[in-house]
Amino acid sequence: MAPALGPDNEGFRCELNGHEIQCRHPQTQEEITISINNLICILPRGDKLEAPRHVMLFLWLDENEFEVSRECMSLQSIEVFSLPAQLSKFVCSDIPPYLGAFTHEQVEKVDIHVIISTTSGTRTGMSVYKNILSPLLSQLGVREYAVHETRTTQTIVELCHTKLMPCAQAGIKQTIILLSGDGGLTDIIDSFHGAAMQYLARPIIALIPTGTGNAMASSIGLLKSRAAGLSALLHGHPAPIPAFLATFSAGSRLVTEAGSGRVNINSHSQSKTGHPTVYGGVVASWGLHAALVADSDTAEYRKYGAERFQMAAKEILFPSNGDDPHKFRGSISFTWRDRQTNKRHTEALGCEEHMYVLVTLVSNLEPGFTISPLSAPLDGCLRIIHFGPMTSEQAMNLMSNAYQGGKHVNDARVTYREIESFRITLGEVDERWRKVCIDGKIIAIEHGGWLEVQKIPERYLNILIPAHGDSDV
């Protein structure tokens, strides 16, 4: 039975035992054990003349559920009269200004938007909002905000162009609480960077990860605990989001409808030369990674969550007809900067067949899968990971090392370095092998077409990242 705040269970006494908070009511002897990983915040209650008391807000798993997921969790609270000193960092005495808090008897005017990506990951966004985020905002006294549910793949893009971007231009402060995976975040990044606008106020994004891989959330510490994203909403600090620009040959098309649809890349995103462009903040890839993301983007695969990527990878690496895994054909070159001389150099990979090529601004593609171990949160460094054709077993063994803290980059067969930009000219005939991935979006490039990716200096958006040491007690 879930605990609740009320007259029958007021006044719990708490003590910390390892990573668990043991709570006992002195009169009823009721006991509640709360994992430190589920603790969101502690709110002071009462005035200075009363004995100190607090309300502890935490995630609670339905006791009838056997699988731990956000979909079967809810926000719960208890009132406590004794608070271990180690939990003092969870105390939220003042609501942060980006949530429209009172500061020195003045209200910080902020437009707050809650965006719910209804199709991200295993479609838990609405459940997380109703059972966790909405009651949390109510407990915090945050009641003035707009809620937006995605109805189509263009919902977030349209919201950016009709509301978020004009307000940023006008200097209006905005906080975007985003219940999504990398795709929703990329829609915002692409929209803000794709328009030729000057923004007077940089919006703050509070990412509550509900996607499949959640690469950005994993890389900036929002998945260190179940409550990390919610805790960052209160205790985090905003940091600029770096981005890259992907430019495509003229015949490239965005893949939609679980692989069956093809549409033009958004017309608002075009380079000065007229080529279609997409801005991203996570990853651009071709080869094995792009193929497995494309192949696994179906309703049947998505119900498996992040496991869908490994399932699709095995099917690509071990074809049912017994053939060797596909060798991706094309030419790749990249530019890098000499830190001592500050000169840029262009270098071509000396091979025309490839298995894996990926450039990234983040460290993790999913929790535990460290694709770029040298990447620090939001450091703006673009890094390439590449290796050529090999047997299925060799590829599986190599990539499994990414789960060992990114040890795959120590293999002599892997190219891993910081770059400024890179270009791929595809030599494939079959469209299946001409698909590239930009932050989860799949783009089919025409035969003989190309892709260029370069990091850019502009940063138009902030994202809340956990305060240092938030995951430690």
- Residue 470's pLDDT band (cuts 50, 70, 90): low
Per-domain residue ranges for the chain? 12-90, 97-241+461-465, 244-456
DSSP 182-228: HHHHHHHHHHHHHS----SS--EEEEEE-SSS-HHHHHTTTTSSTTH
Residue 83 confidence (pLDDT): 85
Q: For residue 28, what pLDDT is reported?
A: 85
Q: How many residues does the chain have?
A: 473
Question: Between 463 and 260, where is the model more confident?
Answer: 463
Domain 97-241+461-465 classification at class level: alpha beta
Q: What is the DSSP string of 91-133?
A: B--S--GGGT-EETTEE---EEEEEE-TTSTTT-HHHHIIIII
Nearest Cα to Cα of residue 114 among 86, 134, 140, 96: 134
* pLDDT at position 300 over 80: no
pLDDT bin (cut points 50, 70, 90) of residue 471 is very low
CATH topology of domain 244-456: Tumour Suppressor Smad4 (2.60.200)
Helices (H) and strands (E) in the chain, counts: 11, 31
What is residue 130's predicted lDDT score, i.e. its pLDDT? 94
- Return the structure tokens found at 297: 């983007």
Q: What is the pLDDT of residues 374-431, one digit of tens each?
A: 999 999 999 999 999 999 999 999 999 999 999 999 999 999 999 999 999 999 999 9
What pLDDT is stored for residue 270 in this prediction?
56
Higher-scoring residue by pLDDT: 302, 330: 330
The pLDDT of residue 122 is: 67
On whether the CB atoms of residues 362 and 282 are closer than 8 A, the answer is: yes
**For 137, left (φ over 0), alpha (ψ -120 to 50), or beta?**
alpha
Query: Exposed e or buried b for every residue in 54-74, given b needs 16+ CB within 10 A?
Result: bbbbbbbbeeeeeeeebbbbb
Least confident interval from 51-60, 132-141, 257-266: 257-266
- Whether 219 has a pLDDT exceeding 50, the answer reads yes
Higher pLDDT pick, 123 / 229: 229
Strand arrangement, sheet containing 462-465: 146-149, 111-116, 174-180, 204-209, 462-465, 237-240
Name the pLDDT band for 313 (thresholds 50, 70, 90): confident
Mean pLDDT of 139-164: 93
- pLDDT of the residue at 8: 45
Token output for 21? 């908070």
Q: Does 473 score more than 90 pLDDT? A: no
* Among the listed residues 229, 180, 129, 208, the one whose alpha carbon sits nearest the alpha carbon of residue 470: 229
Max distance between CA atoms of the chain, in angstroms, equals 77
Residue range 69-79: mean pLDDT, rounded: 80
**Distance between CA atoms of 259 and 37, rounded to whole angstroms?**
38
What's the whole-number mean pLDDT along residues 236-252? 96
Q: Average model confidence (pLDDT) for the chain?
A: 88
Structure confidence at residue 106 as a pLDDT band (50, 70, 90): low
Q: Is the pLDDT of residue 291 over 70?
A: yes
d(CA 34, CA 38): 7
In this predicted structure, what is the pLDDT of residue 5?
Answer: 45
437 with 220: CB under 8 angstroms? no
pLDDT tens track for 321-357: 888 899 999 999 999 999 889 999 999 998 999 999 9
pLDDT of res. 368: 92
Decide yes or no: CATH 1.10.10 for domain 12-90.
no
Q: Rounded to 5 degrees, what are φ and ψ at 238? A: -75, 140
> How much is the average pLDDT of 138-145?
93
**256 confidence band (pLDDT: 50, 70, 90):** confident
